[in-house]
Structure 1
Amino acid sequence: MPRKQVQTCDPCKTAGEEIEATGYCENCGEYLCSSCFRSHSRSKATKHHNLMDKDNMPEESNSAIASSIAKIDIHKEGARYQKSKDEYSYVRDINVKAAGDAKCCFIVAMTLVSNHELVLADNGNKLLKLVDIERNVMKAILNLESEPYGLTTVSKDEVAVLLSNIYAIQIVTISGTISVQRNIKLMGQCLGICYINGKLYASLQNCVHFQILQLSGAVDKTIKPDAEVLKHCTFPDYIAVSPDESVIYVSDWKTNKVMCINMDGNMISMYQNELAMPRDIVISPLGSVYLCNRDQHVIFKMTPDLSGATVLLGPGDGLFAPQSMCCNTAKQHFYISSGSNTAEKCNQIKVFKWHKPDTDASM
């Protein structure tokens, strides 16, 4: 008998880990390691999916079938949530696939550098992309040494991009052209970064902890989480910091939790309801908390204390597997990427407009 092809876990692969798959989800069209398989079978959003063990899983995923089944499932799931009283409307799609891309796009992070320029971290093609979002033009592309995992604006002319696999953050100039200025070497595998008020915040795995860095790379502070945080946080993939720098928000797709911790590493609050693959978490300048809940295909607006969440956008708005997002408060636009494995979705950034000003952080 010919030996089956060895497959790796798709969710872990997107986070930079190569772990052998021990199962497969027909609905999602994804291979799963033992940890992700257990999580998939227990989550309210995915426990009804058709799961196969290692002996029965296919050698190649059938993404076309998985996509059609998932479309049915997400519309059922979308009915579970009460829509926000705020009004949001679809504006357009922005094509972010460059002519020379070898693979489909996988936009894991994005950040604004001006009201009309968006920088994208394309993990699938190992690229940074500078896009003029008014003219829908790809202005510049930068080839990276490794897959990017995090991205944050440092100034109108600079961004910081996280290259987790080589333990480095690169400071990149965005000014006409796009080029690397310098490297910040990290003492461990970093999963998420966020820049605010002259400080670079980083989340690190393998003994989960957080660091506050200067742009020179000097560490101002190391935040070691308390035991309660460590019970629920094993993979601090995306982080965001409140405007007053009093708390850090963390999303963990392995435990399906979102947490709020203070600057001493103590748990403040945690979202207790079911999540399914929470990804990017964004804080507006006025303190509103937004979350990409990927496998339920929705964007949540959450209270700052994480006691509640309201769906802003979902499957009925054309949303599918939201992976990363950012807010343009001047234009009242959301830009949202898809973590789908189909080209028609992952090569586009969806633009939505909100028609009610974000006047405060309450709901």
Structure 2
Amino acid sequence: MGCTQSKVVDATAGGQTLQAKAKQTKQTQQKNGKTTAPEITEPAKPKATYANYQSSHDAKLQQESACSLRGVTFMQNRDLVAADYKNNKLKLYSSKFEFLADIELQSAPWDVCQAADNADDILATVPYKKEVHRLTVNKVNNHIRLVPVSEFRTNGFCWGITCFDSGIAVCVKVSVSEKTWPKPPEFQVHIHEFDGTFRRAIMFDANSTPYFIEPKYLNVTYDDLFLLISDYKQNNVMCMNNEDELIFSYIGMKSPNGIAMDENKNLHIASFFGTQRVHKVGPNGKYIDGLPHDEDRPLFPHGICYRKKDRIIVMTTDQSLEVYKLV
């Protein structure tokens, strides 16, 4: 999502049609000047099994009574970092999902992402501190540690985070005074420089209607051109260009959580509701396939990430890392 670029043109076929449909979808959600959640019509039974279960890895450490994983990301070296909301920790795992190290923060982290400006760094949101933390993976004498580097304040409680070629995007809930007029929406997406300098806020569509009800996770498309936002309470996953224009909305999933994208520009969206716990959505915002809910292995995923080398998706549940391989 190169914010230093000029106008971004939709790379998919029929881009103008998609934008028109996205605007129509948004208009149907307007009621008394407020954004409302659309009704969900769940897709039909999956066409085929598009991902096979590979393994499950317990994320609870020996000294912990329980854990609760939220955000997750792969690093460039194929290691993985997950945010443990319950234990105020970030946990580092090897490419084979072996526990390597953790670090305890002063408050609960929500989401994590690979820093785009340094392959050894990750960024994590800490909602109740209203901070984004930068940490680096440090290896000395075969001893691996997560080491704090820096932090910056956000303008409110911060949840989802992602990095693109020239900055950082963060889901933020701001405090709005009743005296403020015109009154901005509480939930916004803020764009920051890598050093934390605030650049701008994404709030309204072209009709001055708030885009969001409660966005919780972010990602960028594989080519870094478009921002992806999952809005948990709006039952909506949005794709926007760098001029804050809606390219498409996907409203086929109840309460979407994390979003991952593969090299074919397909989205993989997780939820712990419905008969399909992951939806595969094409670059045009259309449903392609789904991962059925297995009653023998109930899956309640929060975050999701994708690794190109072996075509696997990893989802976080409260207690585990769940690994599936794309067919």
Q: TM-score range by the shorter chain?
A: 0.7 to 0.9
1:194 aligns with 2:162: yes
* Residue equivalent to 2:79: 117
Secondary structure of the 1:165 match is helix
Matched residues in 1 for 2:268 and 2:255: separation?
A: 14
1:142 aligns with 2:103: yes
Give the CA deviation at 1:299. Answer: 0.6
* Residue equivalent to 2:315: 336
2:155–2:172 contact (8 Å) kept in structure 1: no
Give the CA deviation at 1:161. Answer: 0.4
Matched residues in 2 for 1:92 and 1:260: separation?
A: 31
Gap regions ≥5 residues in structure 2: 1-35, 139-143, 175-184
Matched residues in 1 for 2:208 and 2:299: separation?
A: 30
Give the CA deviation at 1:172. Answer: 0.6
Report the CA distance shift for 1:99/1:114 in structure 2 as closer, same or farther (over 3 A).
farther
CA displacement, residues 164-221 of structure 1 (integer Å, 9 cap, x when unaligned): 1111000011122112111111122222110122421122224333232222112344
Report the CA distance shift for 1:124/1:202 in structure 2 as closer, same or farther (over 3 A).
same
Report the CA distance shift for 1:230/1:192 in structure 2 as closer, same or farther (over 3 A).
farther
Give the CA deviation at 1:131. Answer: 1.2
Q: Of the candidates 252, 259, 266, which is equivalent to residue 238 of structure 2?
A: 259
Matched residues in 1 for 2:281 and 2:77: separation?
A: 25
* Residue equivalent to 2:320: 348
1:201–1:212 contact (8 Å) kept in structure 2: yes
Identity, % of aligned positions = 19
1:222-261 maps to which residues of 2 (within 5 A)? Answer: 222-226=201-205, 230-231=209-210, 233-261=212-240
1:275-294 maps to which residues of 2 (within 5 A)? Answer: 275-294=253-272
Report the CA distance shift for 1:121/1:259 in structure 2 as closer, same or farther (over 3 A).
same
1:142-221 maps to which residues of 2 (within 5 A)? Answer: 142-154=103-115, 155-175=118-138, 176-206=144-174, 207=185, 208-221=187-200
Report the CA distance shift for 1:303/1:228 in structure 2 as closer, same or farther (over 3 A).
farther
Give the CA deviation at 1:114. Answer: 4.3
CA displacement, residues 85-131 of structure 1 (integer Å, 9 cap, x when unaligned): 464222111121112224x2211111112454211100111110011
2:188–2:212 contact (8 Å) kept in structure 1: no
1:4-19 maps to which residues of 2 (within 5 A)? Answer: none
Matched residues in 1 for 2:299 and 2:291: separation?
A: 13
Q: Size of the alignment, in residue pairs?
A: 272
Secondary structure of the 2:265 match is coil
Report the CA distance shift for 1:90/1:231 in structure 2 as closer, same or farther (over 3 A).
same
Secondary structure of the 2:156 match is coil
Report the CA distance shift for 1:313/1:179 in structure 2 as closer, same or farther (over 3 A).
farther
1:157–1:173 contact (8 Å) kept in structure 2: yes
Matched residues in 2 for 1:250 and 1:309: separation?
A: 19
1:313–1:319 contact (8 Å) kept in structure 2: no
- Which structure carries more relative contact order (alpha carbon 8 Å, separation 6+)? 2
Give the CA deviation at 1:271. Answer: 1.9
- Provide TM-score, normalisation by structure 2: 0.75
Matched residues in 1 for 2:72 and 2:281: separation?
A: 20
Matched residues in 2 for 1:333 and 1:246: separation?
A: 23
* Residue equivalent to 1:83: 46
Matched residues in 1 for 2:50 and 2:281: separation?
A: 16
Q: Of the candidates 300, 309, 314, which is equivalent to residue 293 of structure 2?
A: 314
Matched residues in 2 for 1:228 and 1:247: separation?
A: 21
Q: Root-mean-square deviation (CA), in Å?
A: 2.6
Aligned-partner residue type, residue 350 of structure 1: E
1:229–1:267 contact (8 Å) kept in structure 2: no
* Residue equivalent to 2:88: 126
- Provide TM-score, normalisation by structure 1: 0.68
* Residue equivalent to 2:251: 272
2:69–2:320 contact (8 Å) kept in structure 1: no
Matched residues in 2 for 1:313 and 1:158: separation?
A: 35
Higher deviation after alignment, 211-220 or 320-329:
211-220
